[in-house]
Structure 1
Amino acid sequence: MKKLLPWFYQRWLLPLPLIVLSCFWMAPAIATSLYDVPIVSNDTHVVDLADIVSRINEGKLNTTLNELADKTGQKVHYVTIRRLDYDETIDSFTEKLFQQWFPTPEVAATQTLIVVDSLTNNSSIYTGSKVKELMPDAIAQSVSQETIQEPLRQGNRYNQAFLDASDRLVAVLSGEADPGPPEVKDTVQVEGTFATPEETQKSNAIPWVIGLLLAATIVPMATYYWYVR
């Protein structure tokens, strides 16, 4: 037993602290920092670090948003990340990334940045001064919290969320009327499951109830009479 315990200690207990420390060391590495996000180019409007957008839809988004930039000068960018640092929120991360990418007022004026965290499905938007002239903050927040969030609530439909958001952004930033957020599908059952009076009258429930009551009365009496005899 004395020989077995040291062997067990060396084989299993000694590596435990190293395993625990390695877990703590690896956890922050999974999070995305500002410096993990590459600088976006003029023709790239999707930075998919979380790998949640298909290549086909990424191409569609880049094409659509490039056409928007060519026609209006308005530039829209999507960034997806897997996880935030523990001291960051989705809003603070988006604002810092916007300021890092577009440090001067002139460059930032026509920029729109949307960030989605795939771990929590939280999303945020940040816009420049000239964007606000076409798209007020209320509409921008609706794009982030309704147009994007509704497909995510339906089962992490990221591609649909970005395509819907792009359609709405293109319309608003082109000076057209805001198509508004998507219609929320109500899946709550509002019809009752109880039978109507007409259905109750048509059913055979009443004769069954009367028959059971008679049986509950007659059978005990007959049993008692037979026992007394």
Structure 2
Amino acid sequence: MQRSPGLTAGDRMLALATLSFDMAVPEVMLPLVTGARTVLMPREDAADAAMLIRMLEQQEITVMQATPTTCYLLLDGGWRPPRGFKLWAGAEPLPPALAAKLLATGIDLWNLYGPTETTVWSTMGPITSVGERVSIGAPIDNTTVWILGDDDQSARPARSARSASAAPAWPPATSSAPNSTRSASSPTPSHPDGRCIAPGIWAAGRMPARSNTWGGRTIRSRSAATASSWERSSLVSAASRAWAAASW
């Protein structure tokens, strides 16, 4: 994430998430490894549009990670971001109408997706224009995304399946609880000794050559969102990225 979407020593990042929430990881850790500055804001204050906007302006924040709900709060409160402001939206589906409003303010907008187990994001991508769906981009560095069939093997395009993702940093974090690791994960299709997370996102292949996919996921509130992924899209270099034409 230091490389893409990018953070520099000159950035000032506003941390809105509580420390027990997975979204706090990049807010706190990323500035530490980059040399940027983190500005902590009490969660109860972050729910107040006026106080949030005042903090953004007074602390000259240049980067913020926020849910679409918080983005609505800011826009409804009359927020006018400075030129070059970077906003990383995640944890909730980013509606096209909201993305269009955010782009109209001139910000550098990114959409991020990832289950908690991959700590924290699995895919991300810049949003420069808006269509019927908002892309969730491509897998981040050191992350691979598969489309798996019922047998937990890579599914052929145009077949209903589920997505799964894996990151090298994930298995050691749960090595002290091997039984929990096995029950919460699946073997990776290309590495029998590896494990991957299958978060319950259903997908279907669309194009045989590119394996762009989309599907739906039902979350605990019983609302649904569309999701996208790629069959074995590896992020070794920017040239190997396969950008999606679907949304989360």
TM-score normalised by the shorter chain: which range applies? under 0.3
TM-score if structure 2 supplies the norm length? Answer: 0.26
Name the larger-Rg structure.
1
More strand per residue: 2
